[in-house]
Amino acid sequence: MKRFVVLVLIGLAAHEVFAQQVLQPTIAAMRWGADYKLHVKLANDSDYVMDVRGLYHTGKDIFVDTTDNTATYYPVTLDREFVDYIKSKRIYDDTKTDSTQHTNYKTLWSALHGNLGGGYIHFINCLVYALESQNLRLTDPILMRPQTKWKPKPMTQSYKRTRKWAYYYPDNQKLAHDEYKKRKKENDLKDLQGVPQPFIDLFLKTNQAEYESMVRARQNRQVAQIDLVKLLLGAKYLGEDQIRHISARVLIAVMRYNVNTMPSVIIFDNYNAAVALSLGMDGYKIDKIVYSDGEVVSGKELEGRTELIEALIKRINEANERVFRKKLQYYYQKTR
């Protein structure tokens, strides 16, 4: 019955997406303008003017971690090929066979990887997108812990840690901060390995009153980043029903992905470049590059910068894959 409900939800989402019959727009042209403006024209003839100061900047020093401990995370949109892959995979496979038999719902990683494919960056990006778009809500009833006066005998460590939680994760900032501090002291923050440090910093500096203010102000991006940390802090306490629910909601979020989303542009300051990036099956992909000084610099110089940027993105993808393979794959796929 549970599998049937999940498949019905997936089918409804797929029907909605295909009913729209809208192609994701691609960038037809992009150019620098005056006063820190970037002009973007999409293939569907829509035009956007972006303030460069408000876009994500890499900074003057681009560092790609070579220690296999840190992943590079850019806030980018999903790639059309990836979204199409998910839609076709779920519709054409699920109508013939029950794909849940191929998916391990023992951990969040194994469940999401079984449904979405891709590596660690997809795991984080799709979770964040599901939370930010509110297709996944941490207040969903299925994530609430049942109220009971039962106590295990003998008392278990997991019971002691979670007995004050109303949900299967530390549901307010005080409880979440306490759990983070305990896990850090015990050197047990494996669930957060590779999570972007700015997410963790925002989580740590935000108290409950500030968090509730963000929710009221509909600061969905910041709330999603904090919620991601709280959810992963509770990841090892999730039951199979909760993991199935989260997996289904994330999958629906990807299938409902807003195909009219504006392109994601990253400013590479040390190359004077605006780079439109998307996240595909193999990691980050360059869609377009334009240079603020392109009219006054030689073509050979620009070709050299383009090669450096392409090489940098390749290194980032390779480094992210190493982080995924060496740390997260073992942790999330091990038997609990």
Give the pLDDT score at 119. 77
- Among the listed ranges 57-61, 148-152, 311-315, 330-334, which one has the minimum average pLDDT value? 330-334
User: 41: pLDDT confidence band, cut at 50, 70 and 90?
Assistant: confident
Give residue for tokens 């440090």: 197
Give the C-alpha distances (Å, rounded to integers) separating 254 from 129, 131, 247: 8, 11, 11
What pTM was computed for the model? 0.77
pLDDT band at 326 (very low <50, low <70, confident <90, very high): low
- Over residues 257-263, the mean pLDDT reads 70
Average pLDDT on 105-109 reads 85
pLDDT at 18 over 50: no
pLDDT at 34: 80
Residue with more model confidence, 95 or 74: 74
Q: Which of 332, 272, 268, 335 is nearest to 56 (CA)?
A: 268
Strand partners, 188: none
- Alpha carbons 145 and 158: distance in angstroms, whole number: 13
Averaged over 250-269, what is the pLDDT? 82
Tens-place pLDDT, residues 266-318: 999 889 999 999 988 888 999 999 999 888 888 899 999 999 999 999 988 88
The CA distance from 108 to 137, in Å, is 15
Name the H helices within 21-107.
Answer: 80-94
What integer is the mean pLDDT of 219-240?
Answer: 93
Higher pLDDT, 125 or 162: 125
Instruction: Give per-residue pLDDT as tens, 51-78.
Output: 888 888 886 556 565 566 677 888 888 8
Q: Which is nearest to 225 in space by CA: 320, 297, 130?
A: 130
What are the tokens at 5? Answer: 């409900």
If one counts every other C-beta atom within 10 angstroms of the C-beta of residue 214, the result is 17
